[in-house]
Chain A
């Protein structure tokens, strides 16, 4: 008869600590990605709207691939392609940040572009007549309006990003979902998942609150 090493009932303090460690990794991934992909997305949007096909077409291809293939696939690709084909060693967290960044930059780029193109062309003409340079027009006139308009969309994407960090587990990043999965196996219980859900909810509540504050601050004029 096999006698196994028995585990006691769920050790909640250790469980919460383990999941909190995973949450820290989620926050790391989240903040780095947002910080990098928001500016990158703006750049990509600008390139996408370029007059020159030689710039526009590669950018369109990039947008298609990033939005058209699963993020999980992209993570696995960037994790293993460099080391196996190019023989360049890569580390897990940077690869995850990189992959998330270029993926989310694509989505942000389209959000930016949609909003920029919706600004009435009459404003550009008026600015030109008043002697403003294209760069001044964009920075002082167009961009503030764009930022105000895209806040809800960016908020949604941000909340999606918090949840998408779970995908980093496929390249072995010890984030919240992976830790919860390990504990699920240890205790053969879904309680770790329930606690993980609470952590995700807390994070996303903070995100939602932040963006609603931003929206209120931008509400100094209508439209």
Chain B
């Protein structure tokens, strides 16, 4: 009898914790359900109140991989900072909403977006055709290349030198897409190692367990400069890309609002100012 009651109590506690969690999470909207199926061409015309919802809630939730310097990362005072964060803060203050940063697991980024846990993905998010099928991109705001990094003393100067060598890259990144698009180059490699993040990739190069890395030029250059490494970025790049902000399919009003804010920031020089702070020059492409 006592055992039975205590066991039922235990299950009730488990259930109540889950339910209390549900009520605490007020961000998910039912309008997202049309986009949540992940299919293209969702009936966006029906209820595109994405901007209205954000304004009503007073907060824009930004999903990021908080281990991606210099776009979004944790600084030495445990604050999440980064180029994308500064852009987002400015856009949000102009929109009159608060910016909420939600670190997520990068490999579930689109899942988090579609489930309504975040409103946008803003973290050096490369625009690609495959992603366009699942994500509603803003206008491109920055350019980037997928480049190969090698040790200074490796003697490798061109992509052809990597024949039979081991290449390391981040799982699920646009580096992986760029490699897949360059089938000949990929076939010439000895081995391709996928790791969880770019720092691990650099450790592979440090420990010589990989001969070369493939990643965003912006990220690579940041690491090499920040950590004063003797690494070389090869001139030949694998892909030219652009970064954009990712929204749910159908969230057009929200996307358009962010677009117009970024344009305004480009026009009055704020964009250039932020870019100068982080990169010493204007790397943005919005005009």
Interface residues of A (CB under 8 A from B): 1-8, 10-11, 14, 17-18, 32, 35-36, 39-40, 42-43, 76, 79-80, 83-84, 87-95, 97-98, 101-102, 135, 138-139, 169-172, 174, 178-179, 181-186, 188, 190
Contacts and interface: CB of A to CB of B under 8 A. Distances in A.
Contacts of A39: 6-7, 9-10
16 contacts: A4-B222, A5-B277, A7-B75, A10-B76, A11-B77, A14-B76, A36-B17, A39-B10, A43-B11, A91-B22, A93-B21, A94-B20, A98-B18, A179-B74, A185-B199, A186-B73
Contact of A181 (B33, B69, B197, B222): B197
B75 A36 contact: no
Contacts of A79: 115
Interface residues of B, number: 62
A145 to B, nearest CB: 16
A32 B279 contact: no
B28 interface: yes
B25 A89 contact: yes
A2 to B, nearest CB: 5
A89 B26 contact: yes
A182 B66 contact: yes
A172 B221 CA distance: 28
Given A43-B11, A83-B117, A90-B22, A171 B105 contact: yes
B14 A36 contact: yes
Nearest to B76: A11
Nearest to A85: B36
Interface in B6-43: 6-7, 9-11, 13-14, 17-18, 20-22, 24-28, 30, 33, 36
Contacts, number: 157
B226 A3 contact: no
B1 A135 contact: yes
B76 A186 contact: yes
Given A101-B14, A170-B108, A182 B74 contact: yes
Contacts of B7: 39-40, 42-43
B132 interface: no
Given A2-B281, A6-B226, A182-B67, A172 B76 contact: no
B33 to A, nearest CB: 5
Interface of B: 1-3, 6-7, 9-11, 13-14, 17-18, 20-22, 24-28, 30, 33, 36, 66-70, 73-78, 102-105, 107-108, 111-112, 114-117, 197-199, 202-203, 221-223, 225-227, 277-281
Contacts of A7: 75-76, 226
Contacts of B66: 182, 185
A174 B78 CA distance: 12
B30 A87 contact: yes
Nearest to A188: B227
A167 B54 CA distance: 31
Binding site secondary structure of chain B: helix
Nearest to B27: A89
Given A185-B69, A188-B202, A84 B111 contact: yes
B69 to A, nearest CB: 6
Contacts of B111: 76, 80, 84
A70 to B, nearest CB: 14
A53 B3 CA distance: 23
Nearest to A89: B28
A84 B114 contact: yes
Given A7-B75, A14-B78, A80-B115, A89 B22 contact: yes
A186 B278 CA distance: 15
A39 to B, nearest CB: 4
Contact of B13 (A1, A36, A83, A169): A36
Contact of A185 (B3, B25, B197, B279): B197
B229 to A, nearest CB: 8
Given A2-B280, A186-B75, A83 B26 contact: no
Contacts of A186: 67, 69, 73-76
Contact of A94 (B21, B67, B102, B107): B21
B272 to A, nearest CB: 14
